[in-house]
Chain A
C-alpha cells in the first residue's frame, strides 16, 4: 500500500471522475424519485450493481452532463464543498435540497481494493438511500423544477471562471431566493468515508410544501 499526495497520479482527476459519475446517477434518480419529471422518460438501468432510473430525454441528459462537466474541475481541485440538487416549486422557492457534502483528504492510502470495490459499495449504499427517500419525504407540489447549486470553498466569484468550461453554458451566482429555506426539516440520508473521499448526503425539506416559503 503506497501513500500518495494529491499531486500524484492525477489523484484529483480520479476522485472527480468517480464523484461526477456518481452525481450523474444520483441526480437522475432524485429527479425520478421526487417526480420532477414524468416517469415515462426514465428507463431502468444498472449501476453499482443496483437498479437505477435514468432519464432518456436527450435535452435533460445534456443539461445534467453539461452541469457536471463544469463542476468537475472544481471537484478535481478540491474546491467544491457542496453540490446541492434543489427542487423548487412553481414560484422558484426551494421545497427540497439534496445536499452532497464532499471532503477529500490531502493524503491517501491507495490500493486497487480501495478504489474499486470499497468505494463502489459505499456509493451503492448512497444510491439505495436515495431510491427509498420518498418514504421519509412529503410529496412535492405539482410543477416542480430543479437546479444544481455548487458551494465553493472560497469566494464564488473567484471560482466562476473555473466552471465556465462550456461556451454556451454560463454560470451565475444563485439568487438568495433559490438558496434560502425557512425552518427546513433536516433528513440525514447517508454518510460515507473512504480513503479517497468523504461524503454526506442529507435532505433539507421545507416544512409546509404547499405554502410559499417567505424568507
Chain B
C-alpha cells in the first residue's frame, strides 16, 4: 500500500476479492497518528528568562506630593537641601534659581486635588510667545531717544535696528500678577501699540522678555512702565552684551 499526499492506492492480488476488507484497511491506514504535546524546554543552566530579567532596588522611590513640596520643611533654597552631587555647579549667575519663586506663584491649597495641580503646573510651564500684529504700524513720533540712552547706544556701538529686550520680572509687576501683565502686553502688541515688538513669557524664569528695535527701546520701556503700572527697575539687555541700560 502506498500513501500519497491525498490519494490512497491499494494494491491487491487478483484472487483477493474482498472489497469490504480493503475499505477497512484503507481507513486504518488513514487514522490520525497519536500525538503528544512536548513539555516546555527548561534548561538546568541559567535560562534565557533569568538572564533577561533585570534587577532593581527592592525599595520604592519616595512619593512627593505637591503639598509636601510646598510645606515649610522642604524648600530647595535651604542650605541643608543643597544638591548632593557636587559635580553639578550651581550657577546662580547664569541660571536664575526660580524654585522658591515658583512655589509662591503656584498657590495650591491643601483642599485642591493634586491631579488638578499637576495639570495646572504642566500647563503653566510651557513657553509662550506673543501674537505678532498682522500689520505693522510704526508711528514716527515714537522714535524718541534721550541723550542718556543715545550715549549708551554709542558706547556699545549698537545699530538702531538691532534687537534688544526689556526684562520684566515678577517684582516689577507687584501688586498685580505677572500673568495679568502678560495678557495686557499681548493685547497691546496685538493692537500694534508697541512698534517692532514681540514678547516671550519665560515661565520657568517668571520673566517676560519684550523684544524691540533699539530705536524704539526707550519708548517701549516707558510705555510698559506707564501703561502696565510696573515698579522698580526695568532692565534692557542685548544679545552677547548683557544688561546695558536700566529704566
Contacts and interface: CB of A to CB of B under 8 A. Distances in A.
A43 B63 contact: no
A204 to B, nearest CB: 13
Contact of A179 (B53, B89, B91, B114): B53
Interface in A194-214: none
Nearest to B80: A58
Contacts, number: 169
A121 interface: no
A58 B76 CA distance: 10
Contacts of B115: 142-143
A37 B64 contact: yes
B44 to A, nearest CB: 13
A40 B51 contact: no
Interface stretch (A8-16, A62-70, A100-108, A110-118): A62-70
Nearest to A86: B56
A25 B86 CA distance: 12
Contact of A42 (B51, B66, B91, B99): B99
Contact of A150 (B56, B91, B97): B56
Contact of A54 (B58, B70, B85, B117): B85
A65 B57 CA distance: 12
A43 B61 CA distance: 19
B233 interface: no
Given A25-B88, A61-B83, A154-B46, A41 B59 contact: no
A145 interface: yes
B87 interface: yes
B54 A156 contact: yes
A56 B46 CA distance: 41
Given A56-B76, A63-B61, A155 B84 contact: no
Contacts of B82: 56
Interface string A133-172: 0000001001101111111101111111001000001111
Interface of B: 46, 50-66, 69-70, 74, 76, 80-85, 87-91, 94-99, 102-103, 106, 114-115, 117-119, 121-122, 125, 204
7 contacts: A21-B85, A43-B83, A61-B84, A142-B115, A147-B56, A156-B50, A179-B54
